[in-house]
């Protein structure tokens, strides 16, 4: 199966929302993506295509750390259409996302998700860097794409208000 990962193009927002709705079985994550886009906070948006159809998506947005705006970036929401899960498309999206971060010279990436899934990409519990997100515990993870990027950062992480439905 040939999979193409590339940056979102104009007119693809509905297909992207559909992937999130199908993957999560609800509209919340699609609404987060739409809100980020509408508020200019969708700093990067990558899609996975199989035979010209969008089957996966991942969003990149700014996060505030310990009161410092734009101190890091968040990976997510991430979704792969249920018909295409378990075939490595999620991994391709995460790899491309991290590569994108390096090109953009982002330092630190945080993610809220299954430790067993993100650990394989190098994410570790964010508390090792002194970073916390509400009561997320081990599900809140971080990765220094630029070594040492977390130095001097600590405290509570705040996602963009779009994640709270704003
Ligand atoms: C999570 C998700 C993006 C992974 O995409 P994918 O294309 O299926 O991922 P890959 O094929 O690269 O990897 C599959 C791996 O994901 C793991 N995975 C999927 N869902 C998981 C879960 N709920 N908990 C832990 N691991 C999970 C599988 O166990 C599998 O592991 P393996 O490689 O050891 O067999 C996709 O399953 C999805 O969209 N799920 C619903 C939405 C969601 O939960 N998004 C992520 C929020 S953190």
**Cα-to-centroid distance, 118 and ligand 1 (Å):** 9
Q: Whose CA is nearest to atom 32 of ligand 1?
A: 86
Summarised one tens digit per residue, pLDDT across range 67-104 is 899 999 999 999 999 999 999 999 999 999 999 999 99
How far is it, in rounded angstroms, from Cα 98 to Cα 111? 12
Given a cut of 90, is residue 134 above it in pLDDT?
yes
Residue of higher predicted confidence among 54 and 66: 54
Counting from 1 in the atom list of ligand 1, the atom nearest the Cα of 89 is 7
Q: Whose CA is nearest to atom 24 of ligand 1?
A: 114
Given a cut of 90, is residue 25 above it in pLDDT?
yes
Given a cut of 90, is residue 165 above it in pLDDT?
no
Question: What pLDDT is recorded for position 32?
Answer: 98
Q: Where are the domains of the chain?
A: 4-164
**Mutate-to-test residue for ligand 1 from 16, 46, 90, highest number of ligand atoms within 8 A of CB:** 90
Q: Whose CA is nearest to atom 30 of ligand 1?
A: 86
Cis omega (within 30 of 0) for bond into 77:
yes
Give the mean model confidence (pLDDT) for residues 105-127. Answer: 96
Q: How does residue 111 score in pLDDT terms, banded at 50, 70 and 90?
A: very high
For 23: left if phi > 0, alpha if psi spans -120 to 50, otherwise beta; the answer is alpha
Counting from 1 in the atom list of ligand 1, the atom nearest the Cα of 113 is 48
**Cα-to-centroid distance, 152 and ligand 1 (Å):** 32
Q: How does residue 166 score in pLDDT terms, banded at 50, 70 and 90?
A: confident
> Dmax over Cα atoms in the chain, in whole Å?
45
Kindly report which listed range (25-29, 78-82, 111-115, 139-143) carries the lowest average pLDDT score. Answer: 111-115
**Alpha helices per DSSP H over 39-113:** 89-104
Summarised one tens digit per residue, pLDDT across range 150-161 is 999 999 999 999
How far is it, in rounded angstroms, from Cα 163 to Cα 166? 7
Topology (CATH) of 4-164: Aminopeptidase (3.40.630)
pTM of the model: 0.96
């Amino acid at each position: 199966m040939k999979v193409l990962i590339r940056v979102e193009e104009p007119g693809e927002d509905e297909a992207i929302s559909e992937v999130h709705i199908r993957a999560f079985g609800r509209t919340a994550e699609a609404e987060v993506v739409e809100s980020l886009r509408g508020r200019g906070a969708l700093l990067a948006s990558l899609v996975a295509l199989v035979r010209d159809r969008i089957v996966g998506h991942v969003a990149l947005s700014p996060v505030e750390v310990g009161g410092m705006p734009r101190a890091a970036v968040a990976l997510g929401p991430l979704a792969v259409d249920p018909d295409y899960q378990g075939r490595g498309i999620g991994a391709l999206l995460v790899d491309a996302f991290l590569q994108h971060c390096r090109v953009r010279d982002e330092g630190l990436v945080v993610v809220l998700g299954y430790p067993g899934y993100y650990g394989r990409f190098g994410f570790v519990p964010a508390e090792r860097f002194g970073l916390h997100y509400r009561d997320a515990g081990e599900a809140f993870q971080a990765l220094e794409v630029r070594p040492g990027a977390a130095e001097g950062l600590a405290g509570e992480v705040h996602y963009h208000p779009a994640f709270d439905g704003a």
